[in-house]
Amino acid sequence: MKRLTLVRHAKSDTPLPGQKDWDRPLNRRGQRDAPEMARRLRARKLKPDLVLSSPAVRALTTASIMARELKVPAEVMGQDERLYLASPADLLAVIRDLGGHAPHLMIFGHNPGITDCANRLSAGEHMDNMPTCAVFTATFTIDEWSELEWGSGQDVEFDYPRNLA
């Protein structure tokens, strides 16, 4: 049994003139939402064994903040350029290639790919959009991440900063 958690990066600033999309930092709301979502995961005892992030500043900062709150050691954190603005197929390829034996894998990425990937992985529940800093988590009856298939996610949970439920 494996658990996958997909996280859309927290809210970022609009780009400054001449600033590359890659370099956009989190804004004040993003800096507030990332630790809050990590606290919600910690309350549900959902600590990842491996964290992979897009190397874009906004995704990597979100991953770093959440990892710190979840007390995830630095040696189980990684980056992969394929996660930057990745399609669902690219996300699946990274998960299959790098997930290894991790019981709980957490991926930080961008829309629209992260929402589309979550929907394609889920065996049931679908969402229109993962807002910034939204968290999708599901379990999979597989032994290795290389076995991950679309439509196989069970026990799906979805949370986002403005969710008051």
Q: What is the pLDDT of residue 15?
A: 85
Q: What is the pLDDT of residue 165?
A: 59
Residue numbers of the domain that contains 95: 2-13+24-102+113-125+140-154
d(C-alpha 149, C-alpha 68), whole Å: 30
Grouping H, G, I as helix, E, B as strand and the rest as coil, residue 53 is: strand
Q: What is the pLDDT of residue 79?
A: 97
**Burial classification of residue 34, based on how many CB atoms lie within 10 Å of its CB (0-12 exposed, 13-18 middle, 19 or more buried):** buried
Percentage of residues of the chain with pLDDT beyond 70: 99
d(C-alpha 77, C-alpha 94), whole Å: 14
76 lies in some domain: yes
pLDDT lower than 70: segments of the chain: 165
Closest to 140 in 3D by CA, of 156, 164, 158: 156
82 lies in some domain: yes
Number of domains the chain contains: 1
Global pTM reads 0.96
CATH value at residue 6: 3.40.50.1240
162 lies in some domain: no
Longest alpha-carbon distance in the chain = 47
Q: What is the pLDDT of residue 124?
A: 81
95 lies in some domain: yes
Q: What is the pLDDT of residue 69?
A: 97
57 lies in some domain: yes
- Other CB atoms within 10 A of residue 13 CB: 15
- Phi, psi (5° rounding) for residue 45? 60, 45
d(C-alpha 114, C-alpha 136), whole Å: 9
β strands within 46-103, DSSP E: 50-53, 77-79
